[in-house]
A = this chain, B = another copy of it.
Amino acid sequence: MDGSRRENDAEHSWYLGMLAMTLAEHAPPGTDLNRVVAMLLVHDIVEIDAGDTFIYDDDMLATQAERERAAADRIFGLLPAEQAKTMHALWDEFEERRTPEARFAKALDRIAPLIANHRTDGGTWQLYKVTAVQVMRNVKIIEEGSPGLAAYAARLVEQSVRQGHLAAS
């Protein structure tokens, strides 16, 4: 948050695990928080092979799914078969966002950079000329996992626009 460098995947994944524990009350009732934490620890390990894809980089986004699937197959494939299956399933669940756990995990993954950019006078929004219209697409994804966190995220977006750290459109 001091703006000196980007976080790496290990740091990001630890932070999200802690965020899940700390913001657990904002998950829909009945959410299995332990699976949320497990998913968050595993979700970015594919970037070892596939690299990081900036969420507003449309060219990289086009090939992201394919690159990450190949990475998941290789990396989880290093484990004994049964374990590979369990870990791969956890990663698939996160990607597919069909369960409340996956949707809450994804909401945290999306709100984290939003908070970071808000706290660093626009951060990568400024760098990549991202607009509030684009950020609000992510707020919609946050809303699928946690309406409460989405409302908070929307307030941060409004504030950032007002402060001149995020272009309205």
Give me the interface of A with B, judged by CB distance under 8 Å: 7-8, 10-11, 13-15, 17-18, 21-22, 34, 37-38, 41-42, 45, 79, 83, 87
5 closest residue pairs by CB, A with B: A34-B34, A14-B14, A10-B11, A10-B14, A17-B41
Select A37's contact among B7, B22, B34, B83, beta carbons within 8 Å: B34
Among residues of B, the one whose C-beta sits closest to the C-beta of A15 is B10
Among residues of B, the one whose C-beta sits closest to the C-beta of A7 is B10
Which residues of the other chain, B, contact A34 by a CB distance below 8 angstroms?
Answer: 34, 37-38
On whether the beta carbons of B22 and A41 are closer than 8 Å, the reply is: no
Among residues of B, the one whose C-beta sits closest to the C-beta of A41 is B17
Which residues of the other chain, B, contact A22 by a CB distance below 8 angstroms?
Answer: 79, 83
16 contacts between A and B (CB under 8 A): A10-B11, A11-B11, A11-B14, A13-B14, A14-B14, A14-B17, A17-B41, A18-B41, A18-B45, A21-B38, A21-B41, A21-B42, A34-B34, A34-B37, A34-B38, A37-B37
